[in-house]
């Protein structure tokens, strides 16, 4: 809620029709007037596109609208209470904002088309028993919801209740703008409910005066009310004897809803009644869908729950509730709802896709979501509504048909420009495809429609992280947590962001927070383990990897990263086992082939290493190091042609990759092709001037070609780069011996012998001592 804005102007607008408040709300017409309160119909000019969102504005005359006046402070307090309440209760019209301007106080809320309850009760004939029982359920539902949100039900007035056209439910339009009173006895509320029910049952109207004795004799004028259970409920509601009164609103509500199945199903099973129930259920489903589409999942759940309570076989309600639950992070609940929908209707494509999505977030044992994605997509060949396009697009995305998914999301948006989930999903997919501008536009569009969308802030933050805009990402993650403090994935993603910033302690803290909220969040264990591994704490890392895999035995990334950790501590066989399990779960995860190839090369399994590098290249033909490493193994197996081909491919992929030139020179020199080898060594040195091995082996090739001066120069340069490089002393000593510089040769051999001894190579040390003995005898 933005801070209250108070205008310094004191001129009141007597007739505000046609004016614009807050440079946003344009007033169209007057809807009503009561006392000092006038209600207007307006449109919100800041809603994107040409949607012309209608809203209702209540104008309260204030004697003094200065910020420090008690009257204004009381108005703000009550308006904030109503704002909070409207976010929690479906039966309260949503409050968009409130402010003071031009000597008046305004509350802006959603425009609800409907019939006032007072008008509905002015009829010429009594209501039926079914109508009375549903009216009681509606009235008590409103009071119960208000009470459950810590607001006083005594503030509810019959004049503020309207029957909403969309779902035929009673909705509270407004509360008095005054200091919210503490909860009082609920007896007056239940008495009022009872009197309203009698007014409907007798056809007398709500405003007609009637004595308590006349109320007590209500049944004489309502002969159609003959069910003892209903009569007993009404009598208890209007009773003034404490012992007979209901102890609470909840108790009265429970008694009433307990009669609904008897009245609407068993006792009144006529076709018209069943049709009325079906219509009511459909209206609830439609309203739940409307709430879900704009990200208001709590109120969507409320609508779907009511639909299911009236019709436990309603597949649409289970699908809708499954979507809302998944959006709110209740993945087990989402799985159950979609599984129920599949059982009720095996041909409902959305149900299969929803179940598969829930399983992606909370894996189920012995279940492969791709089967359901494929089945669901095939059952939705020609969607007719926006949400079906979203679900089919999601299935296509999971099956790697990215372009098809984007097309479906775009169609959904064209059908419903306010469908948040379509923007979010398309943004995620564009982000994965590298279309950062498109993704940013989608997430920002969500926030224009709903500035309180924690998911959109989270998604945009991920985008900022990928783009290296870490500070912006932190800001968006924190906004998401302010809106939805227990959104576990945000803590996990914030940890990823801090990890890339190098703030490892903050990364671990956020992963830990995610795990405190959800101790079964396997991915968070894996991510925290990665940070421990980066810090060199492999014991803690392996502990977390083990926890993650225990929670989710199909967690591909868990096995893969644990394999990296095993290699880091030198346990290459364990790493090979983890990479093998990674590939058993996902044969497309080619990174595991590459790293398993490295591990196999280390333990001497050269043929296994070549097979893994070959698989890596199959998935990624431009994988530079797979070509380079395969070339090394091939050269060790004397496959000169294969090694040269791989190195040439590596050079084509990266013409500045000095190691590839060096390695090709080394392969050529081993096969006595020293002249061509010299060119490769020179290119490697040009790219990397301090390339020790390139100087050394170029010196070796010069020596083989008889250019002893050039060879001595290269060996000397090698020594200047690394004064402890024993082979260079040894080779230079050989050349000095060859040209008759015995003193120089003895000095180099002495240096080489000592360095080999320091390295623990006693065999080479002894061989050099024998050479020295012969040289000394020549002096």
Domains contained in the chain, CATH given: 20-110 (3.30.200.20), 115-269 (1.10.510.10), 270-367 (1.25.40.10)
| pLDDT class of 210 with cuts at 50, 70, 90 | low
Tokens representing 336 are 């159950």
Instruction: Tell me how crowded residue 577 is: count the other CB atoms within 10 A of its CB.
Output: 17
Residue 66's pLDDT is: 64
Biggest alpha carbon–alpha carbon distance for the chain: 140
**With 80 as the cut, is the pLDDT of residue 474 above it?**
yes
**With 50 as the cut, is the pLDDT of residue 8 above it?**
no
Instruction: Tell me how crowded residue 58 is: count the other CB atoms within 10 A of its CB.
Output: 24
User: Residues 713-736: what's their mean pLDDT?
Assistant: 94
Q: Give the C-alpha separation, 343 to 331, whole Å.
A: 18
Q: Which of 213-217, 253-257, 468-472, 495-499 has the lowest mean pLDDT?
A: 213-217
| pLDDT class of 169 with cuts at 50, 70, 90 | confident
Rounded to 5 degrees, what angle do the CA atoms 240, 245, 249 make? 125
- pLDDT by residue (tens digit) across 399-443? 989 999 999 999 999 988 888 889 989 998 998 898 999 999 999
User: What number of CA atoms fall less than 13 Å from residue 292's CA on the CB side?
Assistant: 27
Q: Give the C-alpha separation, 123 to 131, whole Å.
A: 13
Specify which of 20-29, 81-90, 528-537 reaches the highest per-range mean pLDDT: 528-537
Q: Is 218 in contact with 239 (CB distance < 8 Å)?
A: no
Q: Give the C-alpha separation, 359 to 371, whole Å.
A: 12
| Cβ-based neighbours of 474, under 8 Å, separated by 6 or more | 461, 494, 497, 498
Share the mean pLDDT of the chain.
85
User: Residues 510-527: what's their mean pLDDT?
Assistant: 94
Residue 163's pLDDT is: 85
**With 60 as the cut, is the pLDDT of residue 71 above it?**
yes
| pLDDT class of 481 with cuts at 50, 70, 90 | very high
User: Residues 581-600: what's their mean pLDDT?
Assistant: 94
Residue 438's pLDDT is: 92
Contacts within 8 Å (CB) and 24+ apart, 505-513: 507/531, 508/532
- pLDDT by residue (tens digit) across 288-313? 888 887 777 888 888 898 888 888 89
User: Residues 460-486: what's their mean pLDDT?
Assistant: 92
**With 70 as the cut, is the pLDDT of residue 42 above it?**
yes
- pLDDT by residue (tens digit) across 343-393? 999 999 999 999 998 888 777 777 888 898 999 999 988 888 888 999 999
User: Residues 579-602: what's their mean pLDDT?
Assistant: 94
Q: Which of 136-145, 503-512, 591-600, 631-640 has the lowest mean pLDDT?
A: 136-145
| Cβ-based neighbours of 556, under 8 Å, separated by 6 or more | 582, 585, 586, 589
| Cβ-based neighbours of 539, under 8 Å, separated by 6 or more | none
| pLDDT class of 757 with cuts at 50, 70, 90 | very high
Residue 149's pLDDT is: 61
Q: Which of 101-105, 497-501, 618-622 has the lowest mean pLDDT?
A: 101-105
**With 70 as the cut, is the pLDDT of residue 63 above it?**
no
Residue 9's pLDDT is: 35
User: Residues 260-268: what's their mean pLDDT?
Assistant: 54
Residue 638's pLDDT is: 92
Percent with pLDDT over 90 in the chain: 48
- pLDDT by residue (tens digit) across 145-168? 777 665 555 556 667 788 887 667
Residue 186's pLDDT is: 41
Residue 13's pLDDT is: 42
Q: Give the C-alpha separation, 653 to 638, whole Å.
A: 24
Q: Is 189 in contact with 154 (CB distance < 8 Å)?
A: yes
User: Residues 495-506: what's their mean pLDDT?
Assistant: 94
Q: Which of 25-34, 472-481, 495-504 has the lowest mean pLDDT?
A: 25-34
| pLDDT class of 561 with cuts at 50, 70, 90 | very high
Residue 181's pLDDT is: 37
Residue 604's pLDDT is: 94
Q: Is 717 in contact with 695 (CB distance < 8 Å)?
A: yes
| pLDDT class of 23 with cuts at 50, 70, 90 | confident
User: Residues 33-59: what's their mean pLDDT?
Assistant: 78
Kindly report the backbone phi and psi dihedral angles of residue 162, in degrees, each rounded to the nearest multiple of 5, phi listed first.
Answer: -130, 140
| pLDDT class of 264 with cuts at 50, 70, 90 | low
Residue 435's pLDDT is: 92
């Amino acid at each position: 809620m933005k801070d209250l804005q108070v205008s310094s102007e004191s001129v009141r607008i007597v007739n505000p029709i046609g004016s614009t408040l807050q440079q946003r709300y344009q007033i169209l017409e007057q809807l009503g007037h009561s006392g000092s309160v006038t209600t207007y119909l307006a449109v919100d000019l800041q809603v994107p596109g040409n949607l012309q969102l209608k809203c209702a504005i209540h104008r309260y005359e204030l004697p003094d609208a200065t910020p420090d006046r008690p009257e204004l402070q009381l108005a703000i307090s009550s308006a904030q209470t109503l704002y909070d309440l409207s976010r929690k209760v479906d039966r309260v019209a949503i409050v968009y904002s409130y402010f003071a301007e031009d000597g008046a106080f305004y509350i802006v809320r959603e425009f609800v088309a409907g019939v006032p309850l007072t008008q509905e009760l002015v009829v010429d004939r009594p209501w039926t028993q079914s109508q009375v029982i549903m009216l009681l359920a509606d009235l008590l539902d409103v009071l119960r919801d208000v009470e459950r949100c810590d607001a006083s039900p005594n503030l509810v007035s019959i004049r503020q209740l309207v029957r909403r056209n969309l779902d035929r439910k009673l909705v509270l339009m407004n509360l008095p703008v005054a200091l919210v009173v503490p909860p009082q006895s609920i007896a007056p509320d239940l008495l009022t409910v009872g009197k309203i029910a009698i007014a409907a049952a007798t056809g007398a109207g709500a405003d007609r005066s009637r004595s308590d004795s006349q109320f007590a004799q209500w049944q004489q004028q309502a002969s159609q009310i003959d069910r003892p259970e209903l009569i007993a409920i009404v009598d208890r509601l209007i009773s003034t004897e404490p012992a007979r009164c209901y102890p609470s609103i909840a108790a009265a509500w429970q008694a009433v809803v307990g009669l609904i199945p008897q009245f609407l199903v068993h006792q009144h099973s006529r076709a018209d009644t069943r049709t009325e129930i079906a219509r009511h259920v459909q209206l609830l489903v439609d309203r739940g869908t409307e709430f879900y589409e704009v990200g208001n999942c709590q109120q969507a759940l409320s609508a779907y729950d009511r639909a299911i309570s009236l019709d436990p076989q309603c597949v649409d309600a289970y699908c809708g509730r499954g979507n809302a639950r998944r959006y709110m992070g209740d993945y087990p609940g989402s799985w159950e709802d979609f599984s129920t929908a599949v059982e009720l209707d095996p041909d409902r494509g959305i149900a299969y896709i929803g179940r598969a999505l829930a399983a992606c977030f909370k894996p189920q044992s012995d279940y492969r979501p791709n089967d359901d994605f494929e089945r669901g997509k095939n059952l939705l060949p020609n969607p007719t509504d926006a949400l079906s396009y979203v679900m089919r697009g999601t299935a296509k995305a999971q099956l790697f048909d990215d372009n098809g998914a984007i097309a479906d999301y775009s169609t959904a948006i064209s059908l419903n420009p306010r469908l948040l989930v379509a923007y979010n999903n398309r943004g995620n997919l564009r982000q994965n495809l590298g279309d950062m501008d498109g993704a940013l536009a989608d997430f920002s569009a969500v926030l224009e429609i709903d500035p309180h969308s924690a998911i959109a802030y989270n998604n945009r933050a991920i985008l900022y992280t990928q783009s290296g805009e870490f500070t912006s990402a932190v800001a968006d993650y924190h906004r998401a947590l302010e809106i939805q403090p227990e959104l576990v994935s945000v803590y996990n993603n914030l940890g990823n962001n801090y990890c890339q910033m190098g703030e490892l302690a903050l990364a671990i803290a956020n992963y830990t927070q995610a795990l405190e909220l959800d101790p079964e969040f396997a991915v968070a264990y894996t991510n925290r383990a990665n940070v421990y591994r980066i810090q060199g704490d492999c014991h803690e890392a392996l502990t977390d990897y083990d926890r993650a895999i225990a929670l989710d035995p199909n967690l591909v990334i868990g096995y893969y990263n644990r394999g990296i950790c095993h290699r880091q501590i030198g346990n290459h066989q364990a790493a090979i086992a983890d990479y093998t399990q990674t590939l058993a779960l996902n044969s497309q995860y080619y990174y595991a082939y590459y790293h398993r190839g490295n591990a196999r090369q280390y333990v001497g399994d050269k043929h296994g290493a070549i097979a893994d590098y070959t698989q890596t290249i199959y998935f990624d033909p431009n994988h530079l190091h797979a070509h380079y490493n395969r070339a090394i193994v091939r050269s060790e197996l004397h496959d000169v042609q294969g090694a040269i081909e791989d190195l040439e491919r590596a050079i084509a992929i990266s013409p500045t990759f000095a190691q590839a030139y060096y390695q090709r020179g080394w392969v050529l020199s081993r096969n006595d092709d020293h002249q061509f080898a010299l060119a490769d060594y020179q290119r490697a040195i040009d790219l990397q001037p301090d390339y020790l091995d390139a100087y050394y082996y170029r010196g070796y090739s010069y020596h083989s070609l008889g250019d002893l001066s050039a060879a001595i120069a290269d060996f000397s340069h090698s020594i200047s780069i690394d004064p402890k490089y024993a082979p260079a002393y040894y080779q230079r000593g050989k050349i000095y011996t060859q040209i008759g510089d015995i003193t120089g040769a003895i000095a180099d051999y002495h240096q080489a012998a000592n360095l080999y001894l320091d390295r623990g190579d006693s065999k080479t040390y002894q061989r050099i001592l024998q050479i020295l003995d012969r040289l000394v005898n020549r002096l």
